[in-house]
Amino acid sequence: MKKPLDQLAPRAALVDIARDFHARGWMPGTAGNLSVRVRDPLPPEADPAAVDTEDTFWITASGLPKGRLAATDFVRVAVKDGAVVERFDVNARPSAESAIHQVIYRHFADAMACLHVHTVDACLACADLPSTATDMPLPPLEMIKGLGVWQQNPRVVLPLFENILDVAGIAEAINWRFKGMLPTVPALMIRGHGVTVWGTTVQEAYNRIEVVEFLMSYLARAQACK
């Protein structure tokens, strides 16, 4: 039996996830990126908002096929400014989308892993939303409990961001919005692009992205049946 992800070394866990997601068509070619924060998890009594750290995170290096990663195909980046602090290959560079991971780690001090994938279902699920929409309503299905929502017929939305060529602009939009209000679920959607999900462990982030993609598949199929 395979080990739980949290019993693997952090980069080995991300390699495992990348192969898994590539096989599902969630990380075609070089698309998507996965990261893990380099720091011990916060103790349960810690106030995440009060923690100011000099953390870094390992993220998949840019431009590499996600079905064939090795544990050395990562770049370690500072949360505060995105500077590369460690890499195994002098030519390795972080994805432009590492700026989105930076924003997540800055706003959620208890986030230890962040996963971003490009899926057909997520793109289809938001295709019919008005161009002015800034939220993506999620269906009130049983699976939504996997995002920590325990309510009867919950009304939950994912924060929705426009996809623009300059990824730094997307990251800034996320940063600006989260400064005003944090989302009620640990996930966000970029229109026509894909979801980003985070968790307090690698396994938790993995479980949550499966939940979110289940909901994206439901929405995509429900729209196709209209």
Question: Which positions from 141 to 180 touch Zn ion by CB under 5 A, shown as an x/- string?
Answer: ----------------------------------------
Distances (CA, A) of 160 to 134, 135, 155, 188: 5, 5, 15, 6
Complex with Zn ion: residue 16 or 97, whichever CB lies closer: 97
> Is 33 exposed, middle or buried, given 0-12, 13-18 or 19+ CB atoms closer than 10 A?
buried
Residues 29-48 that bind Zn ion (CB under 5 A): none
Which span (16-24, 65-73, 93-101, 151-159) binds Zn ion, by CB under 5 A? 93-101
Question: Scanning residues 124 to 143, which ones bind Zn ion (CB under 5 A)?
Answer: none
Per-residue x/- marks for Zn ion, 185-204, CB under 5 A? Answer: --------------------
| Residue 192 structure tokens | 């026509």
DSSP per-residue string spanning 24-78: HTSS-TT--EEEEEESPPPPTTS-GGG-----EEEEEBTT--GGG--TTSEEEEE
* Segment near Zn ion (CB under 5 A); pick from 60-68, 94-102, 125-133, 134-142: 94-102
Gyration radius (Cα) of the chain, Å: 17
Q: Shortest gap between Cβ of 47 and Zn ion (angstroms)?
A: 31
State the minimum distance, in angstroms, from the CB of residue 192 to Zn ion: 11
- The count of residues interacting with Zn ion (CB under 5 A) is 1
In the bound state with Zn ion, the residue whose beta carbon lies nearer, of 67 and 139, is 67
Give the Cα separation of 88 and 214 in Å (integer): 35
Summarize as ranges the residues that interact with Zn ion (CB under 5 A): 97
